[in-house]
Structure 1
Amino acid sequence: MNVLAAPFLYAARSEGEAFVALHTLLTRECPGYIRGAMDGVHKGLALVDRVLATVDSRLSGHLLAKGLTAELYAFPSVLTLCACTPPLPEVLRLWDFLFAYGPHLNILCIVAQLMGMRDQLLNSPSPNRLLRAFPSLQADKVIERTLWIIERIPDDTYAAIVTHAL
């Protein structure tokens, strides 16, 4: 929870303002991330696998052949809206995008980060090592790839992304 709170504390004028912003995010935009068994997070992880298979079947197949599903490497990124991937100024740029167009797009941002690591992941005999710590966040590149992904996923997948955290 502290990783999710940190960007709010950094950007807000007071702890109270940061708390209200965090509370609003969690209760209105992604209550499924904090309820019970965190069903929203697990739905999001399944969607990361589904979207990756749609937009880059080769990378998806490679990771699955190594036994690497999003459950194993993307949990922190889904749960924290990528706030676990430094640097903080880039997280804030990405969050500007997510809060403008919907935090649900974080699922696509994670796939966009994987696509940025594509060559390294495909050429690595042990991609799980690379997936333990994503490279430094480059918000502009992630946003650009995210917009590319949106155009290529089926409508039903996008609808599932929109509602996965509710």
Structure 2
Amino acid sequence: YNAVDKETPTTTDRQIEVDIPRCHQYHELLSSPTAHAKFKRILKAWVINNPHYVYWQGLDSLCAPFLALSFNNEALAFASLSAFIPKYLHKFFLRDNSPVIQEYLAVFSHLITFHDPELSNHLDGIGFIPDLYAIPWFLTMYAHVFPLHKIVHLWDTLLLGNSSFPLCIGVSILQQLRDRLLSFGFNECILLFSDMPEIDIERCVQDSIRIFCSTPKSATYRQHARPLKPKVSEERPNLSYYSIDYHDLPQTDLSMEPITLEELKGEKC
């Protein structure tokens, strides 16, 4: 981290400087000038260290929990961010990330239908599709829509799950707001999600685990998901029920194959 040039001006500096003062500024530590300087150095280092990606708004929100928890160790905050993104946001920061995000939203839509067909039919019927509310959820792993103390609690569980666990969190949020959503029309739903309503985060965590455990792994298959992880060693496997991804499973004749986005969207009843 110390060897990365974090001082030379780059084309992303301006956007980073605009985003930082808006990121969790209710937080006493993160709102300080010292934190702003640390934010900028970590984000610049990440952009420089990942030339295949670009800076998207929301990266500052992803950085915030790690900076807050490792405030006196920038290198650790940077390393945490650098390990987090490949697992949960693989390809999300490509210059053209539309195919990745659209596939993610389509799979999310499938999961809503799988776990709550009545709610899914209602939301589809009024035209309130995930594209209208869920992109900030997933692009920041909820760090843009929840306060920091809730994010830390949520991520403690998220980090134990695989790359599809965030989808289950999204379903759990919708189910917590289910009664209101079923009684709302399109405009009311837009208004509700314009500022994330109060969510019981412990209930959200427990519901997410329940949803995850009752979801077939094939239902969360994404061709743009994180590729197969290399084994650490035969004696020390790096997989558990919660952390294993579909791509980590042995290939068989019944394994899922990539399909086009149009086919994926068309599979929904």
State TM-score, norm by structure 2. 0.56
Task: State yes or no: 1:87 paired with 2:147.
Answer: yes
Does the Cα contact within 8 Å between 2:87 and 2:163 map onto a contact in 1? no
Structure 2 CA distance, aligned partners of 1:45 and 1:31? 14
Which region of structure 1 is more displaced relative to structure 2, 56-65 or 134-143?
134-143
Match of 1:5 in 2: 63
Of 67, 84, 88, the match for 1:25:
84
Match of 2:112 in 1: 52
RMSD value, Cα: 1.9
Does the Cα contact within 8 Å between 1:94 and 1:143 map onto a contact in 2? yes
Task: State yes or no: 1:64 paired with 2:124.
Answer: yes
1:62-101 CA-partner distances (Å, limit 9, x unpaired): 1111111111110000111111222211111111111122
Match of 1:41 in 2: 101
Match of 2:183 in 1: 123
Distance 1:164 1:92, change over 3 A: farther
Give the aligned length.
Answer: 164
Shift of 1:134: 2.2
Structure having the higher Rg: 2
Which region of structure 1 is more displaced relative to structure 2, 37-46 or 6-15?
37-46
Does the Cα contact within 8 Å between 1:9 and 1:15 map onto a contact in 2? yes
Runs of 4+ in 1 over 6 A off after TM superposition: none
State TM-score, norm by structure 1. 0.88
Structure 2 CA distance, aligned partners of 1:29 and 1:48? 14
Match of 2:156 in 1: 96
**Highest relative contact order (Cα 8 Å, sep 6+), 1 or 2?**
1
Shift of 1:37: 2.1
Does the Cα contact within 8 Å between 1:85 and 1:136 map onto a contact in 2? no
| More helix as a share of residues | 1
Partner of 1:100: helix, strand, or coil?
A: coil
Structure 2 CA distance, aligned partners of 1:136 and 1:15? 32
Residue identity (%): 26
Q: Give the letter aligned to residue 11 of structure 1.
A: L
Does the Cα contact within 8 Å between 1:85 and 1:137 map onto a contact in 2? no
Shift of 1:111: 0.9
Shift of 1:28: 4.6
Q: Give the letter aligned to residue 194 of structure 2.
A: R
Q: Give the letter aligned to residue 32 of structure 1.
A: K
Distance 1:32 1:105, change over 3 A: same
Distance 1:18 1:95, change over 3 A: same
Q: Unaligned stretches of 5+ in structure 1?
A: none
Does the Cα contact within 8 Å between 1:90 and 1:137 map onto a contact in 2? no
Q: Give the letter aligned to residue 105 of structure 1.
A: F
Q: Unaligned stretches of 5+ in structure 2?
A: 1-58, 227-269
Structure 2 CA distance, aligned partners of 1:143 and 1:164? 25
Which region of structure 1 is more displaced relative to structure 2, 31-40 or 98-107?
31-40
